[in-house]
């Protein structure tokens, strides 16, 4: 409910503000012309409604036209892709101002709009936001080998990474025994930067990456495997979920554009027992 309210389209907010303004104008003669000794009954109701409409107008202008676009906004965590850092149904506050004068840094937890091909068919055309951790910025060369992330050739200690099921439960011994450690790199191909997920001689098979990046022939898979890892180009970022086995992220659909970044997750504000900064 809170998340839905926070996403109220600006057009609807403007309509509500306009209606409340008209009603306030209609009530003004009653409030102004009623003598002091007759300010009961209808006047009392008019004053109450006027104060309510007044509060709605100020809240609409201040929150939805100033705070939400330029300051902060709340978001609800809908999936287990950021476990254990963020739990299902957590509500976080995102700082939308910080990236107006700076760029996301490695390690930031970022709210952003994903490329359209990262969405399921039923999500197309909807205002869908993702929240992931920034693991690479422009100029970085990112690779994953045997579940270990390397940035510019240096092994990275990612203490926040988990390998849980989508609901947050630990993987069973059976699940762990069948688990495949998938490697990752970016490859420049035909002017585009492709995410390449591979193990053995299998690369970008069906279900491993977004459809546009799938290797449709054995020759294409071999080409992707043999291509050198590429650096993240200017104006792009690489995001991954902390729960690596259950996250649709840059390994699946590639890079996100800097221009589609919305804000930085600062802290969890609900539920109360989970109040804490996010990092």
Q: Residue 39: its pLDDT value, please?
A: 64
pLDDT in tens, 236-279: 999 999 999 999 999 999 999 999 999 999 999 999 899 999 98
Q: Residue 2: its pLDDT value, please?
A: 47
Q: What is the mean pLDDT of residues 191-210?
A: 95
Whether a cis peptide bond, with omega within 30° of 0, leads into 271 is yes
Has residue 11 got a pLDDT over 90? no
Q: Residue 153: its pLDDT value, please?
A: 97
Reported confidence tier of residue 64, pLDDT bands at 50, 70, 90: low
Range from 34-48, 113-127, 201-215, 263-277 carrying the lowest mean pLDDT: 34-48
HSE-CB of 260 using CA atoms within 13 angstroms:
17
Q: What is the mean pLDDT of residues 20-36?
A: 72
Residue 92's contacts (CB-CB under 8 Å, 6 or more residues apart) are: 74, 75, 77, 86, 131, 265, 266, 267, 268, 269, 278
Q: Residue 19: its pLDDT value, please?
A: 75
Range from 42-46, 129-133, 198-202 carrying the lowest mean pLDDT: 42-46
* Greater model confidence, 42 or 167: 167
Range from 9-18, 72-81, 135-144 carrying the lowest mean pLDDT: 9-18
Q: Residue 72: its pLDDT value, please?
A: 73
* Greater model confidence, 180 or 260: 260
Reported confidence tier of residue 235, pLDDT bands at 50, 70, 90: very high
Q: Residue 40: its pLDDT value, please?
A: 65
The share of the chain scoring above pLDDT 90, in percent, equals 59
CA distance 141 to 126: 32
Q: Residue 73: its pLDDT value, please?
A: 83
Reported confidence tier of residue 52, pLDDT bands at 50, 70, 90: confident
Which two three-digit tokens encode residue 169?
Answer: 């439960």
If you compute the radius of gyration of the chain from its CA atoms, what whole number of angstroms results? 25
Q: Residue 65: its pLDDT value, please?
A: 52
Q: What is the mean pLDDT of residues 157-186?
A: 90
Q: Residue 124: its pLDDT value, please?
A: 75
Has residue 37 got a pLDDT over 90? no
Reported confidence tier of residue 67, pLDDT bands at 50, 70, 90: very low
Q: Residue 24: its pLDDT value, please?
A: 72
* Greater model confidence, 23 or 274: 274
Strand order from edge to edge, sheet including 183-189: 154-155, 148-151, 142-145, 183-189, 192-199, 202-203
Cβ atoms of residues 194 and 186 within 8 Å: yes
């Amino acid at each position: 409910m809170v998340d839905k309210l926070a996403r109220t389209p600006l057009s609807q907010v403007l309509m509500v503000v306009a209606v409340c303004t008209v009603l306030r104008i209609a009530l003004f003669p009653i409030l102004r012309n009623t003598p002091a000794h007759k300010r009961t009954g209808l006047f009392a109701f008019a004053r109450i409604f006027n104060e309510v409409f007044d509060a709605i107008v100020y809240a609409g202008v201040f929150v939805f036209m100033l705070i939400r676009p330029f300051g902060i906004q709340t978001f609800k965590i809908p999936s287990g892709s950021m476990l254990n850092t963020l739990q299902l149904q957590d509500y976080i506050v995102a700082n939308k101002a910080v990236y107006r004068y700076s760029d996301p840094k490695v390690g930031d937890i970022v709210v952003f709009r994903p490329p359209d091909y990262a969405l399921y068919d039923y999500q197309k055309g909807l205002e869908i936001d993702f929240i992931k951790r920034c693991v690479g910025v422009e100029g970085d060369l990112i690779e994953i080998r045997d579940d270990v992330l390397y940035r510019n050739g240096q092994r990275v200690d990612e203490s926040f990474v988990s390998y849980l099921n989508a609901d947050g439960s630990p993987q069973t011994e059976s699940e762990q025994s069948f688990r495949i450690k998938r490697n990752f790199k970016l490859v420049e191909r035909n002017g585009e930067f492709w995410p390449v997920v591979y193990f053995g001689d299998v690369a970008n098979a069906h279900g491993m990456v977004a459809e546009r990046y799938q290797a449709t022939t054995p020759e294409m898979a071999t080409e992707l495997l043999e291509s050198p890892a590429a650096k993240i180009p200017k104006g792009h970022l690489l995001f991954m979920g902390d729960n690596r086995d259950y996250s649709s992220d840059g390994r699946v659909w590639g890079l996100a554009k800097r221009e589609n970044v919305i804000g930085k997750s600062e802290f969890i504000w609900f539920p109360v027992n989970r109040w804490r900064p996010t990092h």
